[in-house]
Structure formats: C-alpha cells, structure tokens
Amino acid sequence: MSKAAGLATLLVVAAAPAFAQEQVLNLYSARHYSTDEALYAGFTKATGIKINRVDADDAGILARLKAEGAASPADVILLVDAARLYKGEVDGLFRPIRSRVLEDAIPAQYRAKAGAEGTTWFGFSTRARVVVYDKAKVKLEDVDTYEELADPKNKGKVCLRSGSHPYNLSLFGAVTEHLGEQKAEAWLKGIVENMARAPKGGDTDQIKAVGAGECQVAVSNTYYIARLMRSTDPADKALMEKVGVVFPNQSSWGTHLNIAGGAVAKNSRNTAAAVKFLEYLASPEAQNHFANGNNEWPTAKGVKVSNPALAAMGGGDFKAETIPLASVGAHQVKVQQMLDRVGFK
C-alpha cells in the first residue's frame, strides 16, 4: 500500500466516529404550519440533533406507521387531533415513555393515561372549536350553544366543513359523550336540515362564507380566527368586523377543546433523542412558539403568552369541557355511522 493510500485510509477511519456521532431524528408530522420551521430549528440549535421530517395528515401518518410496521424509521409522531392520538394509542403505534419533565409540565387531562410502562402521548397545545356568526343578522344568544346549531331558528343559516374531517369528528364525539348517542344523532340531523349549503372547504372558508353572506353561522378552530385577526390584509380586517365569535356552552359543559400532541413511535431506534424532543416541546420557548407562531393555547403549566389575538378571544379564560379525550376517540366509529344515516357528507 502506498503512503498516500495509507493516509487516506487513516483519515477515513479517524473521521468515522465523528460521522457516527451525528444524531438525526425522524419526525412524522401532521403539523402543516410553516411557522413550525422555527420550532424545529430551535431544537436543533439547542441539542445538535437534526430533524428529518415527513409531512402528512393524521390518518395518513397512522396508515403509514401500520404499513411500515417494525421497519418504520419514525422516531416521533406529531398529530393534531385528540381522536387520532387515541387511535394511535389503541392501535399500539406509540411507545410508552417515562419522563419527569413531561409529567411535571403537562397536566393529566392533556396526556394519555399512564400505564405500567409509562405514558404513550402528550398534548402540547390546544385549540377551541367555536361558533362564528354574522353580527348583523344573528343574535349571539341564538348561537351560544352547540345544540342551537340544530335549532329550527337557525334553519338555512349554517355552513360547515365536511362532517368526516377530524376536527368535526372530535366535536361530534364530544357532543355524543355529553348528550348520548340518540340525542346526538337527532342533533346531527338538525344541523343537516339547517345547512345553507353542502359542506365544503376548510375552517377559514366557513368564516369567509359568513362574511360574504353565503351563510350566517359556522364553526371554526380558534387558530384560524386568530390568523385573520392578526392579518394586515384589509379584506381580512373587514371580514372580522362583520363576524362575531362565541365560545359555546359556557353555562353548561363548556367549549370543546381539541389538542395537538406527540408520541414516540413504537419502533423508534432513537428513543432518547425522541424523548428529548418531546421534552423540548414542553419548554417555555416551544410553548410560546405554539402561541405566537400558530395561535394555539399552550398546555404546559405556568406558561404565559402575549398573543394579541388570543388575548382578544379571552386569552384562554373560558370554560372548557373536561371530558376524557379517550371518550372522544372511542365514539368515532359511532359518529361516522350517524353521519351516514343523517346524510351529513
């Protein structure tokens, strides 16, 4: 072997440990928010761990994990719906973990029930599902409960996105938990009868439909409303002057909350880094990012935020429902069957 070849071999061998030490976290994420780029960059800067991200919706991620099985490269899963977190748990797609940092930071109602081996998922932010209405044509007291979406007084006024969308499925699952299956199905039938048009579009489209007079009452997650409130576009400002926002059921069970959360993938090969990432999401830095970057309410204890849009909507100072998130997920099959029976597309 020549001296040059020997030197080259020596350099490769010497460099190998450095390459081996580079940590990479494989993240499957349903958080399709561009503002989260800063969140991931903050984690890499703090830890040196790089993130490889695969984006899909909640259902797509769960289906992919099932298809990949033990060969899945996923380390961390981020989902944006309580029912899908529940489904991932019951399908055995998450690895239970123990973390004093997460247990101390995240209240019990925002995480899976701990088992003998630990906790499978943790919620890091919440969003309320509220009613928006045309202030010129609808009285607040006529839409301040979810039940009133089905009241004949609102016939021809309601517009919603698809009933099968996870955000609506979770709301309907929560209502089923509160009212019982029979009354919940009658409620869904009433909503169908009150619709101003067939379901279509996303939450922002429902708000804009109210502003345009296409309908007068709609339902939206709060972070979509906050985006419009913070917008500098004159059209968005004009829209929000027409639209009122109400947190339903403040005199009864409270407003429905959905949750965005994370878990360690069952077959993660980098569990320590995965736990470190989840712990980072519970830090004040990340929690403030959820609030200021995507207009969500943080779940971690003691975190205060200064988002003006969230403050304008009460800063989280509203009565929220307290039913177990597992109950919402457990009703999903029943809810879908009810939607089919009442013709809610």
The pLDDT of residue 325: 75
- Look up the CATH superfamily of 128-255+321-342: Periplasmic binding protein-like II (3.40.190.10)
Give the mean pLDDT of 193-202: 97
The pLDDT of residue 324: 78
Name the average pLDDT for the chain.
91
Task: Please check the confidence at residue 312 and state whether its pLDDT lies above 70.
Answer: yes
Q: Is 41 left (phi over 0), alpha (psi -120 to 50) or beta?
A: alpha
Element (H, E) at 27: strand 24-29
Task: Please check the confidence at residue 14 and state whether its pLDDT lies above 50.
Answer: no
**Integer angstrom CA distances of residue 136 from 103, 155, 213, 281:** 47, 17, 10, 41
Q: Is 193 left (phi over 0), alpha (psi -120 to 50) or beta?
A: alpha
Element (H, E) at 177: helix 166-179
* Confidence band, pLDDT 50/70/90 cuts, at residue 17: very low
Task: Label the pairing between strands 94-95 and 243-246.
Answer: unpaired
With a CB cutoff of 8 Å and minimum separation 6, the contacts of 177 are 323, 327, 328, 331
Q: Count CB neighbours of 35 within 10 A.
A: 13
Task: Please check the confidence at residue 4 and state whether its pLDDT lies above 70.
Answer: no
**Integer angstrom CA distances of residue 156 from 60, 153, 163:** 34, 9, 17
Give the mean pLDDT of 140-167: 97
Q: Tens digits of per-residue pLDDT, 259-303?
A: 999 999 999 999 999 999 999 999 999 999 998 888 999 999 988
Give the mean pLDDT of 60-87: 95
Give the mean pLDDT of 184-199: 98
Q: Tens digits of per-residue pLDDT, 30-51?
A: 998 888 898 999 999 999 999 9
CB 315, CB 331: distance < 8 Å = no
CB 242, CB 133: distance < 8 Å = no
What CATH number is given for 22-126+257-312 in this structure?
Answer: 3.40.190.10
The pLDDT of residue 6: 47
Q: Which of 338, 319, 341, 325 is nearest to 180 (CA)?
A: 338
The pLDDT of residue 35: 83
In one-letter notation, the amino acid at residue 43 is F
* Confidence band, pLDDT 50/70/90 cuts, at residue 322: confident
Q: Which of 11-20, 59-68, 101-110, 218-227 has the lowest mean pLDDT?
A: 11-20
The pLDDT of residue 19: 44
Most confident of 2-6, 40-44, 321-325: 40-44
| Residue whose pair of structure tokens reads 């409303």 in the numeric block | 225
**Region(s) of the chain under CATH 3.40.190.10:** 22-126+257-312, 128-255+321-342
The pLDDT of residue 21: 59
* Confidence band, pLDDT 50/70/90 cuts, at residue 20: very low
Task: Please check the confidence at residue 78 and state whether its pLDDT lies above 60.
Answer: yes
Measured between alpha carbons, how far is 23 from 205 in angstroms, rounded to an integer? 41
Give the mean pLDDT of 139-154: 98
Give the mean pLDDT of 316-326: 83
Q: Which of 174, 162, 237 is nearest to 202 (CA)?
A: 162
With a CB cutoff of 8 Å and minimum separation 6, the contacts of 161 are 167, 168, 199, 200, 201, 202, 203, 205, 206
CB 85, CB 112: distance < 8 Å = yes
* Confidence band, pLDDT 50/70/90 cuts, at residue 119: very high
Task: Please check the confidence at residue 248 and state whether its pLDDT lies above 60.
Answer: yes
The pLDDT of residue 308: 85
Give the mean pLDDT of 101-124: 94
* Confidence band, pLDDT 50/70/90 cuts, at residue 315: low
